[in-house]
Structure 1
C-alpha cells in the first residue's frame, strides 16, 4: 500500500495486530459486524452464531448461512505466531467444528441451538421486539433462504473460512489438499496498516486461487457441463462489477435501481454508488440496510427499474452476447 502526497508515493508497511494491540476477540467483532470483508458482491450471508460451544466443549468463532443454504464456519487467528502456538492445527479444528454442524438437520435445530442464543445476546441489533428470539430467528432464516431460493438446500454441505493476518506453509498446504479433495475451505489474509493514527485492514483471499483463464467467464449459466460448485465460488471475484457495466453503457448514471421484492430505490451515480435520499452509498451497503443481512448478492438483488431485470441478468445477457459475437467473428475468420 502506498500513500500519495504531492505526487510522491510513500510505501506504507503492514503491521501486526499484536503490535497495534488488536486482540483476536476484536477481529472477531469486526468481522461479525462486517462479514462482507470476507465475501464478494456475488454472495449473501447472515451471521447466526458467535462462540458456539459444541459437544466437546470447543468454541467456533463465527457461524453463518450463505445464499446456497450452506452453514459457514469462520475461524479467526490473529497472527501467524498464534497459529503456530496452537495445540491443534488451525484447519483441523475448523473441520471438526464443521463436522459437528453437519448433524443439524433442520432450521428449528439451528435456531434453538445457535441463532436464538445469538439474537438474545445481540438483541439491541434486531427489530421486531414483540417476537421471542426463537420466533425471530425462524422468521429471519426462512426469509433469507426463501429470498435466495435455497430453502431446499439448507445445510446440504458446510463451508469453512479461515482468517488471519498471515498463514504458515503447513496450514496453506493442508487447505490446498482439503480443497482438492472436495472440502470447501477458504483462507483470507487480513493485513493491518497504521496510517495517520488510523487503522486500515486489507482483506484478500489467498486460497482457493482463481486461475487466469477464469477471468470474465460467464458463470451464471449452471447448465454448462462439468461446472462444479467450487468452480463457481472460485470465480465469483473476477466477474465484472458495476464500474465495468457503466463503462459498457448497459446501465447509466441516473438509472433507478430498486431492491428485489422491496419498494426501496436509489439513483445510480457515475461512481457506481446509489443516492438514497441525501446519502450516497455503495450498492452493498445500501442493500445490507434494506435486507438486514450481513452481506448481499449485490447484482442478484439490485433491480434495474427501466428493464425490470436484475444487474446480474443484464450483465449475463451482455457477456453472452459478446461471447456470441466473438465466436461469430472467429468462425468467419476460420472460413
Structure 2
C-alpha cells in the first residue's frame, strides 16, 4: 500500500507505511465494532449522528452493518468491507448491496417504527451502555430518538431521505466510478478510507473522505485511461471537512484561551484551552468527546452545539462571521 505517514522520534521524522487489516488479523466485524463505538471518525464536525442499529435483517435476510440517524433526520446506512480484495471478491457490487438495504429502510414511516424494528434490538444487545432507570427500553429509546430529532430540528424531515456510507481500507475503480455516478444523480453516498498504521505495538487509524468530491467526472472510469489512481490522489474535493477548526479560530483571535464554552440547551460549561480542548472539572477533554457525553449521541455537531458564553454565539456562527468578513475585505482589495 502506498499511503505514508510520519511520526516524530525526538527531532527526527520517521516514515511509517500503512499495513492491511488482514496483516493485523482483523475481521470486518472488528472494524464494525470500532466504528460503532467511534462513529465520529467518519463524521464531519458539522454533523451529529446517533447509532440505532447493528446487523439489522431485512425481509430477504440481508444484514446491514450499522444503522444511524443524522441531524437532518436521514437514516444512514454504514456498510463496511475490510479491503479492496473483499470488495472485488463479492458477487454483488458493494454499492448496490448498500442500496438494497437503504431501500428497505425507506419504508419506515415513523420513529415508533424505527424503534420497534431497529433500535430496540440494538439496545437489548448493548443494555450495559444504556441507563434505563424506571423506563422500559421502548420508552427510553423513543424519548432518546425524539429528543435527538427535536434538538436538531429534524422532526418533520424524519426519513425523508436515506444516506449511504461505504467504509473500506481501499476501494476499486469500479466502486468509485459507480458511487460518483450515483452522487451526480442525487443518491447520497459517501466513501471513506480507513487505513491502519502500526507503530511498535500501537495501531493508528487514518480516515480519509474519498467521495463525494466537487467534480465527479474525475472519478468516472475511463476504459482507455488507467491513470485513475493518480486522479484520486490529486482531487480531494471541497467538503465541509475542510472548514477551519478551533485551532484556527484561536489563531484568528475570535476566541481565546480561558473563554467559557457552554453547551446548547444545557447547563454544562467548560474552559477553552490553548490546544482547543476543554477543561471540565479539572479534566481535559476534546470538545467532541465532551459533547458526546452530555448529549449521549454517537457524534455531535461540535461547532453548532458549543456556545461561546461571552458572545452568546455558537462557534459555527463566530467562524462564519469571521470568514465572511475576511472574504468581503479580500474582495474590496480588488
Q: TM-score, normalised by structure 2?
A: 0.90
> For structure 2, which runs of at least 5 residues remain unmatched after alignment?
216-236
**Stretches of 4+ moved more than 4 A in 1?**
none
Could you tell me which residue of structure 1 aligns to residue 112 of structure 2?
108
Distance in 1 between residues matched to 2:120 and 2:35, nearest whole Å: 20
Report whether the alignment pairs 1:37 with 2:31: no
Report whether the alignment pairs 1:119 with 2:123: yes
Could you tell me which residue of structure 1 aligns to residue 313 of structure 2?
309
Post-superposition Cα deviations, 1:237-272, rounded to whole Å, max 9, x if no partner, equal 111111111111110100000110101111000101
Task: Report the CA distance between 1:329 and its aligned residue.
Answer: 3.0
Distance in 1 between residues matched to 2:103 and 2:121, nearest whole Å: 21
Could you tell me which residue of structure 1 aligns to residue 73 of structure 2?
69
User: Which deviates further from its counterpart, 136-145 or 316-325?
Assistant: 316-325
Task: Report the CA distance between 1:4 and its aligned residue.
Answer: 2.3
Q: Say which of 309, 317, 333 aligns to 1:329.
A: 333
Distance in 1 between residues matched to 2:89 and 2:214, nearest whole Å: 30
Post-superposition Cα deviations, 1:63-82, rounded to whole Å, max 9, x if no partner, equal 00000000000000011111
Could you tell me which residue of structure 2 aligns to residue 246 of structure 1?
250
Give the 3 Å change call, closer, same or farther, for CA 118–79 of structure 1 in structure 2: same
Contact 1:186/1:205 (CA < 8 Å) preserved in 2? yes
Q: Say which of 50, 53, 59 aligns to 1:49.
A: 53
Report whether the alignment pairs 1:2 with 2:19: no
Distance in 1 between residues matched to 2:134 and 2:279, nearest whole Å: 33
> For structure 1, which runs of at least 5 residues remain unmatched after alignment?
212-232, 331-335
- SS in structure 2 opposite 1:100? helix
Distance in 1 between residues matched to 2:207 and 2:306, nearest whole Å: 24
Distance in 2 between residues matched to 1:206 and 1:38, nearest whole Å: 11
Distance in 2 between residues matched to 1:275 and 1:101, nearest whole Å: 41
Report whether the alignment pairs 1:180 with 2:199: no
Distance in 2 between residues matched to 1:234 and 1:104, nearest whole Å: 33
User: Which deviates further from its counterpart, 1-10 or 184-193?
Assistant: 1-10
Distance in 2 between residues matched to 1:243 and 1:114, nearest whole Å: 39
